[in-house]
Structure 1
């Protein structure tokens, strides 16, 4: 019977043993794994490092595959032989195993005789760091870029040697620059000598990269200490004064107490509670309760109780002040050696100065961009207000009409570049016609009646908004910019400006030039200037002021429509968008000087710079910033009621 069972089991045993026998136990990668088998099998993060480093540094062609399979939990160990294999699970009880040496399939076996290695997240992170070495030499540039991104996200000491080893062999110029920069950053963190760390720090002088500041700031870490006399040494960062923003009196005294240089303190409330708890016969510590009306008297009574052992001895207010004044509080560098910390401090100071200059430049570009938007929005108002003296509260709605015109054009012309080129003249024609109609139907009957004009145009404004809501709805409509206007012009990590804003700035300059040509080189411009300066004299010379007023109002409205197309590329197109610019437009015109194009340009610049400056000082409250700006404009008008450039003629009289 036993022999019969043996005959039946022998083929099964041979099948089970066949895969193991087929595995190359003498392969170099298998021998390396066997050398570290004990710590690999235990998989402790504290002890696994040498095994991972040995595999990564072995130079064996199978090393990368072993680490990848180990990280993916695909490495198994045969319980009988102790050999390592790669395995894939077929079902709950069966696995397919492969030889690590050549990757060949060994066979399918039950998983009972094998143990799966399941590294935890910490070990997988160590394996991932080791794999970076192989990825840095990967033939595919995108894989090398991925490895650099992984190092940038989570740098380690082991990455420094890997970067240095592959830097000279890098063929891609962009990746080589990234590797060189990253190597210097890691040298700052993990360099072996102060000299090489300082050299790497100095190489980033004036660099605005966020990664540089993130690397340097930890080197400036300090610890606040206290002594009776300030110690000498290069590791002393500076002295702190108790009661300053950096060190409060309470923090300073707590530091004295923790250092054993002063007695603990007690709050006034706790002191009063202790005194109240020890009242005997109307006295506390021999002091009458009626006399405990000063802090000094309460300190004396508490000190008496402490001397009798009734309460714990604590410092009085006078002792606290004396202790603070008799000790020196200072900061000691703890993030790096003194020489490295001082080099980092000098670099950070230089970077902060450069950052401040670039922030000022970025703020100036934002102000210039905002000024160009205000100039486009206000130039038409400057014409109508200056020539006709009409307070047109519906000017913002002409901007809105121009933006909606651009939106409608894009519905029929899918090419965004072509649609914008068509929308600009079409918006001018639509809003020019609307302006002429408004002047003929409303404005012409209200000349020299500013209050009635204001009310009438305000009513027109509300009506136009409601018409837009009825046609287009209340949701914002997109006015899409062409692809070549996407993105920003990035000068560095701090200074950038969007291409749309650059386009609006250029458009503002173009319309400034067009306006100057029209006003100074054409008959229409001559007649407009004549009517502006003296309408009666112009009429006596054969000029029709009524016609000029109509054309001027239409021209100003048409420019507002073009401004709407430009602004729509930058802001949301809604029925209320005009109201967002009407106040700034009037401020721009009034501050610059009514009816003067150069005054409008200066006014837009002043309002744009002022608004951006106030927003920078008070970034958390935009409404407050606008309020402060309006108050400043009101104050400015008190001293310069006619604006920066005063206009002579009818506008000046208005």
Structure 2
């Protein structure tokens, strides 16, 4: 309370620049020398209050350096000085008074509690400081040390604030504190209206505090009370026992004896093997024990008990209700309306946020699956090692960053290198293994599965089992914050843009280049394509290499936000196959549609069941199985070898 009074006086000084007395800062410090030298949170308030109430311009300099442990005391004269960069400064004038010699001085070391009080006192000076960071720090200090005394300080600083963003923060904090501390109903209503457009948690929390209720009882409902609702026993989860407990807590009813109390009273009144004249052997049933206890109560040997009917009768004599902590009906109605409006906006924002997450996830699945879509669609090869090409691309990015410290440059170099490494690995795999297994899907699946395991083990031998970092550039750090509910990381945005770029590049390759023409020809009718002079083996080799290279680039992108391990491919191989099968094999637009469907479906299921991601994936797989039963060729069916025509 003393500190609050000091703050009110500080407002007067901030506004009018007048001092209470002719005391110097040194005089005040010497008056409180003992508690400043050995300060604690419990004892330091008088010294801080005196400093703030003095209104001296040098107080801010003193408090700032005190908080930063830059105040030293002369052991002999007991005077205080500030020490900055090895120089001594006078606390009254802030003048440099010479080189500091530690001998003969001891440092004043306020603990964290004292520093918090000092920070609160500094607010009156810092709210209008020229440095915006100082003003922002003062605002944060008010948030941490909530006090009604800050209200006039905020009001005084609001009109002279030059930064629009900080002015908005001040206005919102002022509104929240007005709702909490003001006694003027118009001020509270205006404050509620001012924050009704905000989605911040602090706003919702403050409005919920306004609408907090307390259970009470009375013979009749008091007319002046701001009643939330009337409680009827045995309805709305409010039992007669709850009602009677409320009466007991209010001191208008006797406590109900528990079974333990009854047992203890019976045991205390055993005389010659009997209780109230009843042999102990006959007290084996509840009714006998009840009769014995009633006799003890009649003889004054035990407290009276209340029957259920008596309790019910007592409860019926009272009215039970919940009353708002806020006494004004107008304020609570305004708070309810504002909270409902905010709830609608929060729900819409959450839905929009889920949509952004789904688009982001669809972009990742599209990047991971687009290479598989080409190899699976053109060649009919079930490549179980596709996830390992993603892993190889991510590790390529990691290796590049070991030699190129610039994160932006390293990523720019890693993308083509990852493509080159995985393209070469894909071509080698096609030439050495896949080409001998065409039209033998089971053998192809087993062979690529074995290669997948082998590649994982090679990665473990080279890089170890722990996750390796693939650091994103600083400009990809953080997130695009749309409001207090909706935000999406810049990395996710970059992956979305990369997915769009790949979509455009692939459409160009397939529609505008000779290789694309040959690929489409082999996809639709390999025999006719061969008859027209196209070499299907060459197309298959390049297609498999291209699909593998794309997986490598996807690995670099995915590695920027996911863990880079030898088993990271396992996290995407299942979703990649689902994306291709659902969308339609061998079709870029089908892959895009499949990725979108899988991404939205997964996020939708996770939203309904956020605590169990395994169950969400299970439901998603079941849904896709059912979907394929009705549309076995996917969303966008393609005629040709991949479709079985």
Q: Distance in 2 between matches of 1:316 and 1:475?
A: 68
Moved more, 41-50 or 633-642: 41-50
Q: Which residue of 2 aligns with 1:211?
A: 202
* Contact preservation (8 Å) 2:368, 2:572: yes
Query: Could you say if the C-alpha distance between residues 474 and 300 of structure 1 is closer, same or farther in structure 2, counting changes exceeding 3 Å?
Result: same
The structure 2 residue matched to 1:61, chosen from 26, 45, 57, is 57
1:339 to 330, 336, 355: 330
CA contact under 8 A between 1:433 and 1:554: conserved in structure 2?
A: yes
Pair 1:505-2:479 in alignment:
no
Task: Check the 8 A contact 2:422/2:549 in 1, yes or no.
Answer: yes
Q: Is the 8 A contact 1:226 1:329 kept in 2?
A: yes
Query: Which of 465, 471, 478 is 1:474 aligned to?
Result: 465
CA distance in 2, matches of 1:297, 1:322: 25
Cα distance, 1:413–1:175 mapped onto 2, change above 3 Å: same
Q: What residue in structure 2 maps to residue 30 of structure 1?
A: 23
Seen in structure 2, the aligned counterparts of structure 1 residues 307 and 536 have a Cα distance that, compared at 3 Å, is: farther
Partner of 1:386: 377
Structure 1: how far apart are the matches of 2:53 and 2:205? 30
Cα distance, 1:524–1:250 mapped onto 2, change above 3 Å: farther
Cα distance change on mapping 1:169 and 1:631 into 2, 3 Å = same
Q: CA deviation at 1:364?
A: 1.6
CA distance 1:229–1:540, shift in 2 (3 Å) = farther
CA deviation profile, 1:469-512 (whole Å, cap 9, x unmatched): 22333332222222221221111222111111101001111111
Alignment of 1:569 with 2:560, yes or no, is: yes
Residues 128, 531 of structure 1: CA spacing in aligned structure 2 closer, same or farther, 3 A cutoff? Answer: closer
Q: Aligned in 2, Cα 1:40/1:300: closer, same or farther, shift over 3 Å?
A: farther
Distance 1:103 1:348 in 2: 54
Q: Between 395-404 and 436-445, report the one with greater CA deviation.
A: 436-445
Find the aligned partners of 1:45 and 1:406 in 2 and give their Cα distance: 53
Q: CA deviation at 1:312?
A: 4.4
- State which of 172, 182, 194 in structure 1 corresponds to 2:185: 194
TM-score, normalised by the number of residues in structure 2: 0.78
Query: CA 1:394–1:335 in structure 2 vs 1: closer, same or farther (change >3 Å)?
Result: same
Pairing of 1:145-160 with structure 2 (within 5 A):
145-160=136-151
Deviates more, 1:224-233 or 1:40-49: 40-49
Secondary structure of residue in 2 paired with 1:497: strand
Residue from 462, 483, 490 that aligns with 2:474: 483
- Cα deviation, 1:123-166, whole Å, max 9, x if unaligned, reads 87655433321223434443333222211221222222222233
Residue in 2 that maps onto 1:9: none
Distance across 2 between alignment mates of 1:452 and 1:102: 85
Alignment of 1:500-539 (within 5 A): 500-539=491-530
Q: Decide which of 635, 650, 654 is 2:641's aligned counterpart.
A: 650
Matched with 2:8 is: none
Match of 1:397 in 2: 388
1:591 aligns with 2:587: no
* Higher mean C-alpha deviation, range 451-460 or range 236-245: 236-245
Mapped to 2, the partners of 1:445 and 1:252 lie a distance apart of 82
Secondary structure in structure 1 of the residue aligned to 2:469: coil
Q: What is the TM-score when the length of structure 1 is the normalising length?
A: 0.77
Structure 2 residue 245 is matched with structure 1 residue 254: yes
3-state SS, counterpart of residue 414 of structure 1: coil
SS of structure 1 residue aligned to 2:567: coil
Instruction: Select which of 345, 364, 376 maps to 2:355.
Output: 364
Conserved in 2, the CA contact under 8 Å of 1:69 and 1:86?
no
Question: CA distance change for structure 1 residues 231 and 471 in 2, over 3 Å: closer, same or farther?
Answer: same
C-alpha distance in 1, partners of 2:563/2:112? 47
SS of structure 2 residue aligned to 1:644: coil
For residues 629 and 240 of structure 2, the distance between their equivalents in structure 1, rounded to whole angstroms, comes to 47
Helix, strand or coil: the match of 2:195? coil
Q: How far 1:119 moved relative to its partner?
A: 9.8
The alpha-carbon distance between structure 1 residues 477 and 304, as it changes in their structure 2 partners (threshold 3 A), is: same
Compute the RMSD of aligned alpha carbons.
Answer: 4.8
Provide the rounded CA distance (Å) in 2 between the counterparts of 1:244 and 1:230.
18
User: Does the Cα contact within 8 Å between 2:579 and 2:598 map onto a contact in 1?
Assistant: yes
Q: Show CA shifts across 1:222-271 (max 9, x none).
A: 21124576555561123456678875775444224434676644667877
In structure 2, the partner of 1:87 is 80
**Partner SS state of residue 634, structure 2:** coil
Superposition deviation, residue 325 in structure 1 = 8.4
Partner of 1:93: none
Superimposed CA distance per residue, residues 261-288 of structure 1 (whole angstroms, 9 cap, x where no aligned partner): 7664466787789899999999999999
Task: State the partner residue of 1:14.
Answer: none
What is the alpha-carbon distance in structure 2 between the residues aligned to residue 639 and residue 467 of structure 1?
41
Cα distance in 1, alignment partners of residues 277 and 563 from structure 2: 76
Q: Distance in 2 between matches of 1:514 and 1:601?
A: 14
Change in Cα spacing, 1:67 to 1:487, as seen in structure 2 (3 Å) is closer
Structure 1: distance between partners of 2:62 and 2:407: 53
* Matched ranges for 1:534-549 at <5 A: 534-549=525-540
Map of 1:220 onto structure 2: 211
Q: 1:334 to 1:446 in 2, by over 3 A?
A: same
1:345 & 1:86 partners in 2: Cα distance? 57
C-alpha distance in 2, partners of 1:646/1:321?
Answer: 72
Asked if 2 retains the 8 angstrom alpha-carbon contact of 1:30 and 1:101, the reply is no
Q: Does 1:415 align with 2:406?
A: yes
- In 2: Cα distance, 1:414 partner to 1:38 partner: 58
Say whether the 8 Å CA contact 1:393–1:457 is kept in structure 2: yes
Residue 615 in structure 1 maps to residue 615 in structure 2:
no
Paired with 1:644 and 1:322, the residues of 2 have a C-alpha distance of 69
Q: How far, CA to CA, are the matches of 2:342 and 2:284 in structure 1? A: 57
Residue 184 of structure 1, CA deviation: 2.9
Which range is displaced more, 322-331 or 613-622?
322-331
Q: CA deviation at 1:639?
A: 4.2
Where in structure 2 are the equivalents of 1:1-12 lying within 5 Å? Answer: none
* Matched residues, number: 614
Secondary structure in 1 aligned to 2:215? strand
**Residue 181 (structure 1) aligns with:** 172
1-side partners of 2:262 and 2:327: how far apart? 44
8 A contact 2:296–2:302 mirrored in 1:
yes
Partner residue, 1:169: 160
1:236–1:630 CA distance, 2 compared to 1 (3 A): same
